[in-house]
Structure 1
Amino acid sequence: MASVPKQRVSVIGGGGNVGAATAFSLIAKGVPAEVLVVDVVDKAAEGQALDISDAAFMMPGICRKGTFKEAGQSDVIIVTAGARQQPNEPRSALIDRNYKIIKSIMDSLQPIKQTAKILMVSNPVDVLTDIAQKTSGLPRNQVIGSGTYLDSGRLRNALSEITGVSPTSIHAYMLGEHGDNQFTGWSSARIGGRPLLEHPKMKEIDLDKIYEQIQRKAYVIIEAKGSTYYGIGICAATIAEALLNNTNQVFPIVNYVEKFGCYLSWPAAIGCDGVEQSFDVKLDSEECKKLDSAINAIKEVCSKYN
């Protein structure tokens, strides 16, 4: 029998669509880790783990159902569990419900491995990452969120269609809050070392229309099939892979930025210690105003959960 990989990644909420897509993505990407599927609904976790394990027979990783205690001793803990916003429910009520869920999860994980990294995927991710850090007891650099990584991927896909350049060669970010207060960092966007907006095919493009397209895409998917999970699943798996393999890749993720005094979606290099460094981003005056709005909105909510 093959040996169990030395690294472990646990997916909390793995019985659901987002959690299962994340666990499957870890296996499909060939991450050499033991992937634990953990969920309060034991049967759902078992079913997803058994199904995903069938895809692992030619991969270096393995997948099985795990417990919260086992998850607490993982190298990377990915949290996809959380309450969904109900029709006409205010955002404040959703956060209150998710605060209780996240606190309960962190309590169930104790004692948490001191070198563990927590990756929050549950929404509203900026606020819940702050709550996870406070309730887990881990240092800020070891608790991050998926943030605007997926939104930035959608942006790069859209720009690729316009410019004819691979999305991986376009450096452009959605920044701020993952939600109503996110914005596009057009001033910092680059392609081939030059400002993106100087590209000939960007001259007549309606930038607001691109932004609206990115903002609406999740709603279009949800209206068509009920929920989104493949995109965020591969994003979460890619971030986890970077944490395990110490790649120091830069992602627009939720991380604590000292000069702003809060968690928000901002470019950071991540490795085996979590956030290795955060970066300054060139913004114009209008983008700075949008950044301030995002920071104020996040701080206002987070202050209620000290």
Structure 2
Amino acid sequence: MRRAKITIVGAGNVGATCAHWCAAAELGDIVLLDIPQAEDMPKGKALDLMQASPIMGFDSAISGTTSYADTANSDVVVITAGIARKPGMSRDDLLGTNAKIVGSVAEQVKQTSPNAIIIVVSNPLDAMVQRVLQVTGFPSNRVIGQAGVLDTARYRTFLAMELGVSIEDISALLMGGHGDTMVPMPSCTSVGGIPILQLLDAKRLEEIVDRTRKGGAEIVGLLKTGSAYYAPAAATTQMVEAIVRDKKRLIPCAAYCDKEYGVGGFYVGVPVILGSDGVEKIVELTLTTQEQADFKKSVDAVQELVEAMGKLVNA
């Protein structure tokens, strides 16, 4: 059986760190691609990672390139390409520039890896994954946005810090758009099986949720010259693993909903079964009245973002 071929488009911090995590987990052979102007940079990062393999004991082959020809027939393509946020910028501020970059990448992937499953990481996430679907014309189950795994990880981290418990004991779920309107699901949050509202009062939980919503901006503000990459790359790697190892993970992803949750043809964060066919099922939950209201608000924000992107790319 051949190894999976995993292409990561964008050899910056997120892309290179994703390559690192994927190689360490031996998920497949990895191609790290960047724009021609990057010259030999992706080759240098790939070689550096390969030289770590004898020390860390992994056998993944890693190559760097600026040519899409080297990515041909990839099983999974991760798109991290685009400009990163700077202090004071929202994810939405990236809309016009990244729509053009991601659209160009999608066109190349469509030609070179027509059977790939695509994971989009570029921001603003919910619009960028919609753009990839539009350009590639791939079945929607094979175009997925990474956001829910990251947002939930931040939520779980802050809850563990607050309660002084192991991160392993916290089970949580966030839905909706990747941004300030993301929707916490207290009904799906527990610690060692104990419902979260038995351990935290509602006011303190909302403060933690608010920090989660602003988790990326908090890191941008601290770094000052870049944005988060360790956790986004780790979240992406978990999705890659679910696909190449057919894990059937039940995790939140930005998935295309054309009727689920009453959403009419947009990508939004929902719980899915993720396996070798990509999104194999969208899991529909019974939401509380408050969760329904919050989710609708988030979906409306995503729709506005997608419509704004449409005006920009067609201008």
State the TM-score, normalizing by the size of structure 2: 0.86
Within 5 Å, give how 1:255-266 maps onto structure 2: 255-258=255-258, 259=260, 260-261=263-264, 262-266=266-270
Structure 2 unmatched runs, 5+: none
| 1:263-299, Cα deviation, whole Å (9 max, x unpaired) | 1111111001000111123332222111111111212
* Counterpart for residue 143 of structure 1: 143
* Counterpart for residue 105 of structure 2: 105
Q: What is the distance in 2 between the residues matched to 1:56 and 1:126? A: 35
Q: What is the distance in 2 between the residues matched to 1:182 and 1:104? A: 28
Change (3 A) 1:231 1:89: closer
Using the TM superposition, name which of 115-124 and 61-70 deviates more. Answer: 61-70
- The CA RMSD measured in Å over matched residues stands at 2.4
Q: What is the distance in 2 between the residues matched to 1:252 and 1:90? A: 22
Letter in 2 for 1:60: D
Change (3 A) 1:206 1:91: closer
* Counterpart for residue 209 of structure 2: 211
Match of 1:297 among 301, 305, 310: 301
Deviation at 1:194, TM superposition (A): 4.7
Q: What is the distance in 2 between the residues matched to 1:175 and 1:190? A: 16
Q: What is the distance in 2 between the residues matched to 1:17 and 1:89? A: 18
Structure 1 unmatched runs, 5+: none
Report how many residues are paired: 299
Q: What is the distance in 2 between the residues matched to 1:278 and 1:126? A: 16
Within 5 Å, give how 1:36-185 maps onto structure 2: 36-40=31-35, 41-57=38-54, 58-66=57-65, 67-85=67-85, 94-185=94-185
* Counterpart for residue 19 of structure 1: 15
* Counterpart for residue 287 of structure 1: 291
Kindly, what percent of the aligned residue pairs are identical? Answer: 27
* Counterpart for residue 252 of structure 1: 252
Deviation at 1:189, TM superposition (A): 2.0
Change (3 A) 1:180 1:72: farther
Change (3 A) 1:46 1:116: same
Match of 2:271, SS state, is strand
Q: What is the distance in 2 between the residues matched to 1:106 and 1:96? A: 16
Change (3 A) 1:295 1:112: farther
Q: What is the distance in 2 between the residues matched to 1:94 and 1:204? A: 34
* Counterpart for residue 196 of structure 2: 196
Q: What is the distance in 2 between the residues matched to 1:274 and 1:138? A: 12
Letter in 1 for 2:219: I
Q: What is the distance in 1 between the residues matched to 2:154 and 2:228? A: 13
* Counterpart for residue 236 of structure 1: 236
Verify the 8 A CA contact 2:117 2:143 in the aligned structure 1: yes
Q: What is the distance in 1 between the residues matched to 2:306 and 2:217? A: 26
Match of 1:55, SS state, is helix
Q: What is the distance in 1 between the residues matched to 2:51 and 2:2? A: 17
Letter in 2 for 1:175: M
Q: What is the distance in 1 between the residues matched to 2:93 and 2:111? A: 29
Match of 1:73, SS state, is coil
Deviation at 1:218, TM superposition (A): 2.6
* Counterpart for residue 186 of structure 2: 186
* Counterpart for residue 281 of structure 2: 277
